Amino acid sequence: MTAPLLSVRDLSVAFSQGGKETLAVDRISFDIGEGETVALVGESGSGKSVTALSVLKLLPYPPASHPSGQILFGGKDLLASSENELRRVRGNDITMIFQEPMTSLNPLHTIEDQISEILKLHQGMADKAARQRTLALLEEVGIRDPEKRMNAYPHQLSGGQRQRVMIAMALANKPKLLIADEPTTALDVTVQAQILQLLADLKAAQGMSMLFITHDLGIVRKIADRVCVMTGGKIVETGPTREIFENPQHPYTRHLLAAEPKGNPPAANAAAAPVMRGENIKVWFPIKQGFLRKTVDHVKAVDGIDVTIRAGQTLGVVGESGSGKTTLGLALSRMISSEGVIRFGETDINKYSFREMRPLRRELQIVFQDPYGSLSPRMSVADIIAEGLEVHEPKLSADERDARVVAALKEVNLDPENRFRYPHEFSGGQRQRIALARAMVLNPRFVMLDEPTSALDMSVQAQVVDLLRALQQKHNLAYLFISHDLKVVKALANEVLVMRNGKAVEYGPSEEIFARPKTDYTRALMAAAFRIETAEQGAVSE
Amino acid sequence: MTDIIGTTPALPVKRPRLSPLNARRWQNFKANRRGWWALWIFLFLFVASLLAEFIANDKPIIVSYKGETLFPVLVDYPEEKFGGFYAVTDYRDPVIQEEINRNGWSIWPPVRYSYRTVNNELPDTAPSKPFWLFTPEERCARYPQGVDDPNCVFGNMNILGTDDQARDVFARALYGFRISVLFGLILTAASAVIGVTAGALQGYFGGWLDLIAQRFIEIWSSIPTLYLLLIMASILPPGFWILLCIMLLFSWVSFVGIVRAEFLRARNFEYVNAARALGVRNRTIMFRHLLPNAMVTTLTFLPFILNGSITTLTSLDFLGFGLPPGSPSLGELLAQGKNNLQAPWLGLTGFIVISLMLSLLIFVGEATRDAFDPRKAFK
């Protein structure tokens, strides 16, 4: 067997803060051969991203340090290399793409500038040659009309296109190794499937190796040749992908494999009392032009949608990004203004003012997508949960309020003893439970869940889904569940509304839609979610 | 569920006195040794200057007179009490002192001059040198009994000399420091309240309110403040509060920009939306969720705005448009130093006090900035 392209030996990474040393990665070793794809799998905090960053020595030193280890690339130890030698390797032999395509591109330069800069820097290309090569690269990564797109700024591109540009930048110098750090986590499932397909194609065409970092085992099965399972800074199991999936040895690997959102929702019950009904909901944002700001057209974010959400039932709203799912949810919960009739119980609340809505807010709760952003970092968990009680039940004494907070935390399976801690001391899944407790403490009838699981690790997603289902049964809650991930929707929703460009594509009981999707669009969404496959052109927007 | 935290029934976690965030900030502040020491030195000087009446005054602190305990520092006793006939007692008058000493005793502050006390026993013509530049005989030459006079004591010496009206420079610098710092603090606090409120309202509600208020501020801040101050000073009677109000008219604007920007940014944060979804009132949202964000930048700016206010007051005093004549003011001390180059102790004292005060405040400000800098997590 030939020598591997990259060989990581005994690598440790430590961070020092305030005199304390924390070991983030603990003596791990793995090899990547030529043309091979190795996946590093683990949950957040397992040290997989830190490992990837230390290959190129991109961690912030000095707080970070390497107590032990070697990273051999082509026989040379990168950890012992000087900054100058490393610069020649970075962006040349080894390149990297990151999770967040929004922030990885410089917003002030066109994409042509950003790609050709690398070519000029590393290969000393002349302007004209660099332009030709940029064009070829953009074509290679599947950007349509590359000629027109070259002068676009990052904000003019969609998330998937931005990630394609990032890949083009990474490929510009024909690297031997591409490190992909969760490259699809921030993307829609349909786009994710396309990007993965693209990466696989490019890898095959160029014969490069890939280090793929992800928390999603579905992706691993699709793309990787070999898998390293990481937890707590250690690699607990490593082996060919097929073996790991068929015959996992380590209990943690088995835990990961078992951690898919599972279970089925209770069957749809058309007789249950409707809690929320929307009739012909429209949210149109005006496009204004000219000196007098005349309204010339509208962006029809939600365009005439009828929904009914019943007590104890879940309506799942699915669709690609930009299809208007979240806008619909915000309109129904009266966070933005809309046209049409919104009946909550029997009353039409669509014309209620903020003040008139206030008493209804306790029955109509929202849980947001990002568990890091939706909790104020300056308030303790107890204060966060009690905030709604202060508004809606101001007569409660401090002790009664505390008792309610404790009960709410118990309900979401968190230890109430920790209620005086601050959100940053909790993990993503725990934070999402706190956000749920904040909604549950008011005993709502209707909860809008805006992608509550998409920022979470796979195994945590499954737990949150179980919790949501249990709470629903206990309190007979009506859920509006918004997600682009049909796996989660399938586990939770008994009715599904498929949206595209603000319009309802399909609406009906979930068994029916999952069993017999009527449109190509729905089929494409399902293929992407369940099998990570791309659809033929035109089925989805990108 | 594997996700439950702290499964052992540990002792309840009590709410710490400082939130972890503030505790870290305090640590960062302390880590800046220069700022940490500057804070303590400044606090010491400021507290001392607040007690200036007990350090430098032309009245005794306590007088025991005919079995009665009197506090001349705090209470104005008419001279009748001591057998005279003026409405206010001049305790520096040898006759009164003799009367008190015959019927009791008195405790004087370390320096027996207030900022407006004229030294009638000047060894030299005013402005006179600090006492340590004279021989002991010269110092007390004007007292009736010379060196043996009961008033030829340290408290009656001019530590830093006198100004051109025979007033003690040390006392004037001490009172001047106090009035400058107080002026700066009140002005900064008041403009912070107005500026933060205005910025918060603009940033939170946006739209037309923001548009109109921003245009108003643009026009308002283009008025040349110093000229206006000079004109106003010639119309209105000069005084501490008048001056404060005029300067307040313009100084609040400096806060609006940063606070407005913070509110504009933070009003779309998800936890602000979450609070809105709970039905929390706008006012509560602004105070509880948005103001802490804006306070970080505001606090970072505060020391520098404080310094700016003090400098403006000093320069107005220097030009003679500031506090009313006779007030203890550092700017006036500098002006005297300029007019009396033969008396370098005037200018030097003014310079040292002002530069020390401003430097200390800037050091404290730097440490505050460090403390609130989120990137300063590592050492």
Condensed to tens digits (0 to 9), the pLDDT of residues B212-263 reads 999 999 999 898 877 887 788 778 887 888 888 888 988 899 889 889 998 9
Give me the total of CB pairs closer than 8 Å, taking one residue from chain A and one from chain B.
105
Q: Are B228 and B169 in contact (CB under 8 A)?
A: no
Asked if residue B298 and residue B185 are part of one domain, the reply reads yes
Asked if residue B123 is part of any domain, the answer here is no
Q: Residue B182: inside a domain, yes or no?
A: yes
Nearest C-alpha neighbor of A540 from the set A318, A339, A371: A318
Distance CA A308, CA A291 (A): 42
Q: A261 or A46: whose pLDDT is higher?
A: A46
Mean pLDDT, chain B, rounded, equals 84
Shared domain for B199 and B76, answered yes or no, is no
Residue A525 scores a pLDDT above 80: yes
**Does A333 lie at the interface with B, CB-CB under 8 angstroms?**
yes
Tell me the C-alpha distance between B359 and B252, whole Å: 23
Amino acid (one-letter) located at A416: P
* CB contact (8 A) between residue B277 and residue A333: yes
In a domain, B11, yes or no: no
Q: Indicate the pLDDT class of residue A536, thresholds 50, 70 and 90.
A: low
Mean pLDDT of B306-310: 90
Please say if the pLDDT value at position B9 is more than 70: no
Same domain, B197 and B303: yes
Distance CA A285, CA A301 (A): 7
**CATH number of residue B358's parent domain:** 1.10.3720.10
Split into its structural domains, chain B has a count of 2
Q: Is the peptide bond before B328 cis (omega within 30 degrees of 0)?
A: no
Please, what is the end-to-end C-alpha distance for chain B in angstroms? 38
Write out chain B residues lying below 8 Å of A63, CB-based: 378
Contacts of A388 in chain B (CB under 8 A): 278-280
Name the residue range of residue B94's domain.
58-108
Question: DSSP character for A35?
Answer: T
- A366: chain B residues, CB-CB within 8 Å: 273-274, 277
Which of B2, B4, B5 would you mutate first to test chain A, the one with the most A CBs within 10 A? B5
Span B338-376, pLDDT tens digits? 998 888 889 999 999 999 999 999 999 888 888 877 655
Region B160-180 average pLDDT: 90
What DSSP state is assigned to residue B56? B
Backbone angles phi, psi at A508, to 5 degrees: 175, -175
Structural domain includes residue B379:
no
Which residue from A63, A420, A430 is facing B5, i.e. has the nearest CB? A430
Report the distance separating Cα B179 and Cα B50, nearest Å. 9
Question: Are residue B101 and residue B191 in the same domain, yes or no?
Answer: no
- Structural domain contains residue B279: yes
For residue B104, tell me if it sits in a domain.
yes
Burial class, B281, CB count within 10 angstroms (exposed 0-12 / middle 13-18 / buried 19+): middle
Q: How confident is the model at residue A540 (pLDDT cuts 50, 70, 90)?
A: low
Mind listing the pLDDT tens digit for each residue in B85-122? Answer: 888 888 888 888 888 888 888 888 988 888 888 888 88
Residue B38 in any domain: the answer is no
> Which H/E stretch holds residue B62?
strand B62-65
Decide if A160 contacts A195 (C-beta within 8 A).
yes
**Interchain CB contact of A441 with B (< 8 Å):** no
**Rounded to an integer, what is the distance from CA A479 to the centroid of its chain?**
21
Q: How far does chain A reach from its first CA to its final CA, in angstroms?
A: 42
What's the pLDDT tens digit per position in A125-135? 888 888 888 88
Same domain assignment for residues B189 and B302:
yes
More confident residue, A3 or A400: A400
Cα separation values, A131 from A90, A91, A115, A147, Å: 22, 18, 9, 10
Q: How far is CA A266 from CA A315, A491, B121, in A?
A: 12, 10, 101
For the purposes of burial, counting CB atoms within 10 Å of the CB of B121, is it exposed (0-12), middle (13-18) or buried (19 or more)? middle
Cα separation, B294 vs B322, whole angstroms: 33
3-state secondary structure of B275: helix
Three-point CA angle B177, B183, B189, nearest 5°: 130
CA atoms of B299 and B308, how far apart (whole Å) = 15
Own/partner pairs, B336-344, CB within 8 angstroms, 24+ separation: B336/B127, B336/B163, B336/B164, B339/B164, B340/B127, B340/B163, B340/B164, B343/B127, B343/B129, B343/B161, B343/B164
> Cis omega before residue A154 (within 30°)?
no
- A150-154, A354-358, B50-54: which has the highest mean pLDDT? B50-54
Same domain assignment for residues B82 and B201: no
Rounded CA separation B346/A370 (Å): 63
Residues B332, B191: one domain?
Answer: yes
Set of chain B residues whose Cβ sits within 8 Å of the Cβ of A374: 270-271, 273-274
The pLDDT value recorded for residue B174 is 92
Q: Do A374 and B14 touch (CB under 8 A)?
A: no
* pLDDT in the model for residue B375: 59
pLDDT at B379: 40
- pLDDT at position B4 is 43
Across B313-319, average pLDDT: 89
Nearest to B280 among A374, A377, A387 (CB): A387
B192 and B317 share one domain: yes
Kindly report the number of other CB atoms within 10 A of residue B192's CB atom.
22
Strands (E), A151-193: 177-181
Residue B353 and residue B228 share a domain: yes
Q: Domain ends where: B70, B93, B108?
A: B108
Residue bearing tokens 């944060």: B269
What's the distance, CA A225 to chain centroid?
A: 24
**Are the beta carbons of B6 and A415 separated by less than 8 Å?**
yes
- Determine if residue A342 is left, alpha or beta; phi over 0 gives left, psi from -120 to 50 gives alpha, anything else beta: beta
| Cβ pair A198, A164 in contact under 8 A | yes
Most distant CA atoms of chain B, gap in Å? 94
A265-269, B156-160, B275-279: least confidently modelled range: A265-269
Rounded CA-CA distance A210/B174 in Å is 72
Q: What is the pLDDT of residue B1?
A: 38
The distance of A357 to chain B (nearest Cα, Å) reads: 8
Per the CB < 8 A criterion, the answer to whether B15 and A441 are in contact is: no
What percentage of chain A carries pLDDT values higher than 70?
97
Contacts A380 to B, Cβ<8 Å: 15, 19
Question: Would you place residue A89 in the very low, low, confident or very high pLDDT band (cuts 50, 70, 90)?
Answer: confident
* Mean pLDDT value across chain A: 84
Whether pLDDT at B2 is above 70: no
Beta strands A314-318 and A478-482 are parallel
Ordered structural domains, chain A, with CATH: 274-371+445-531 (3.40.50.300)
Domain assignment present for B331? yes
The pLDDT of residue B18 is 67
B75 with B206, same domain: the answer is: no
Do B71 and B194 lie in a common domain? no
Contact A463 B3 (CB under 8 A): yes
With 50 as the cut, is the pLDDT of residue A355 above it? yes
Nearest to A492 by CA among A474, A472, A469, A515: A469
Chosen for mutation from B278, B299, B375 (greatest number of chain A CBs closer than 10 Å) is B278
* Predicted-complex ipTM score: 0.72
For chain B, what percent of residues have pLDDT higher than 70?
93
Facing A375 at nearest CB: one of B5, B271, B276: B271
For residues B218 and B319, membership in a common domain is answered with yes
Instruction: Please tell me the distance from the alpha carbon of residue A221 to that of residue B295, in angstroms, as a whole number.
Output: 49
Q: Which residues of A touch B283 (CB under 8 A)?
A: none
Mean pLDDT of A106-115: 86
Candidates A317, A342, A326, A339; CA nearest to A499 is: A317
pTM over 0.90: no
Whether residue A415 and residue B280 make contact (CB cut-off 8 A), yes or no, is no
Q: What is the pLDDT of residue A198?
A: 85
> What's the rounded Cα separation, in Å, for the pair A94 and A174?
9
**CB A414 to CB B378 under 8 A?**
no
Classify each residue of A191-227 as buried b or exposed e, where b means 16 or more C-beta atoms within 10 Å of its C-beta: bbbbbbbbbeebbeeeebbbbbbbbbbbbbbbbbbbb
